[in-house]
Amino acid sequence: MTTPALALVPVLIDDPAGTGASTATLTDQALARAARDDYQNWLASAASAGGCIRPIRLRGRSRDVDTATGEIVREFDTADVPDGVIYTACGDRRASVCPPCAETYRRDTYHLIRSGLTGGKGTPESVTSHPAVFATFTAPGFGPVHTRPMTQGGKVARCRPRRKAPLCPHGRRMSCGQRHKDTDACLGRPLCPDCYDYQATVVWNAHAPELWRRTVITIRRHLDRLARDQQTRVRLSYAKVAEFQARGVVHFHAIFRLDANSPAGELVAPAGITARQLAHVIGRAARVTGFATVAHPARPRGWDITWGTQTDTRIISLTGTGQLSDVAVASYLAKYSTKSTEAVGTLAIRITAGNIRYYGNPRSHQGRLIAAAWQLGRHSHDDFRALRRWAHMLGYRGHFATKSRRYSTTLRAIRQARADYRRRRHLEHATAGPGTTPAETIVQVPDLSWAGRGWKTSGDALLALSAAARARDHHAIARQETAAVA
């Protein structure tokens, strides 16, 4: 038995002082748990966390009630299970915080995004005939940074080669002739940190959600004018994911789908407007949309908030004749839905007056961004005061995955369907036999309260995470075999 899971991820152990568990070795803790008579019951309870590395412990009661008769079919009390608690997953979206929960979030996001392109989960399959475009919106430049450009042949080009590169005011030559590897720590870092505009970077991050909102409004206005010329009406739907670049700014990947504005509320393909026209409208809106922030002592005229010049639009194809497939786009967006600031440097805690001196380190790129957000956050205006609250996100205060109302289903619906399926299977197994109550008429009435967070010991964490890893492997093998047979 090895411990790679405990070594590679920050597993949360809640070991109160005085229990003596912290003095035992990992092997002793695991053997002590496995030797108990109630080990199998504990393992079944721990399995409900799904391999979460920082699960939530709950105590209390839960009743299964037959809605047809009001009869209590089953009553459950955590006092009857090992340790007197049950485990549930933390549900964190970030892969840097809890990889198993982030993987569940990624899969849910994948199905949410793809159902808006191919149908399913409440979305009609007719959406496959609707114009769809994949667009990327980037931030403007705030100073030259180290990059890893690629040639048309797929080879890595030199970073910033300049034969007669000038010296910046701080005496640094503004060139780099290296061919960087994708693991180089300098990627995204400015050639001259003293010349780089850190204040404009965090201000842009803070106002990026507002720029996105205005851009969507502009796209819809352009589409309305185009639809009037075609004597029709359209409705725009989208799904959007934010991603942090290595230089510390967010950019957005989005899927735009065009629907006809049906009076009955049905999803119908629009007439007379193609995906190419939709891509043109999106690109034009990105070029013309922008605004200026309110005045700040550091910038009396405010900062101009606009998109960068590298806005990219590609037509999504469901027949294999276009630029991108629905599977590729959904997988791409779902992958980035679990990311946070890992590209710049992982930071999962909020910045306060007590720890700003540690995280606002002027010798690191991330530290300068945090310090800039903290300094600008002294201003009393709400637009800037929020910079301190979101300094750990480098000023960005928006959601990482959003969608319009009519694009597809919701994450809540997907999670509820999964929970209903698991509970129904459990009830069918528990109440199997003639004359039993149908599982469809039973609802769960929980009365649970917080009992703590994390595993009790490192040994418990090892056993639970190992069992969850084996279950995932078995599930993956079964899925592969099913696909091979089909």
Q: Is the pLDDT of residue 21 over 70?
A: no
Q: What is the pLDDT of residue 271?
A: 84
Q: What is the pLDDT of residue 202?
A: 96
Three-state SS string across 443-465, please? EEEEEEEEEEECECCHHHHHHHH
Q: What is the pLDDT of residue 301?
A: 93
Counting Cα atoms < 13 Å in the Cβ hemisphere of 24 gives 18
- Helical H segments across 135-289, by residue range: 198-229, 275-288
**Domain residue spans of the chain:** 4-91+451-485, 99-132+197-403, 143-193
C-alpha angle with apex 319: 316 to 325, nearest 5 degrees?
40
Write out pLDDT tens, residues 123-180: 888 888 899 999 999 999 999 999 999 888 889 999 999 888 889 999 998 999 999 9
Locate the DSSP E strands across 269-400.
290-292, 304-306, 312-317, 324-325
Q: How far apart (Å, rounded) are the C-alpha atoms in residues 136 and 14? A: 42
Q: H/E element holding 240?
A: strand 234-244
| Phi-psi domain of 319 (left: phi exceeds 0; alpha: psi -120 through 50; beta: other) | alpha
Integer distance in angstroms from the first to the last C-alpha of the chain?
36
Q: What is the pLDDT of residue 44?
A: 87
Q: What is the pLDDT of residue 253?
A: 93
Q: How many residues does the chain have?
A: 486
Write out pLDDT tens, residues 389-399: 999 999 999 88
Label the pairing between strands 267-268 and 250-261: antiparallel
Tell me what the mean pLDDT of segment 327-337 comes to.
77
Average pLDDT score, the chain: 85
pTM: 0.84
Residue 32 dihedral angles phi and psi, to the nearest 5°: -65, -40
Q: What is the pLDDT of residue 179?
A: 93
Question: Of the candidates 382, 388, 407, which has an alpha carbon nearest to the alpha carbon of residue 210?
Answer: 382
DSSP label at residue 50: T
Q: How far apart (Å, rounded) are the C-alpha atoms in residues 182 and 190? A: 16
CA dihedral 446, 449, 454, 457 (to 10 degrees): -100
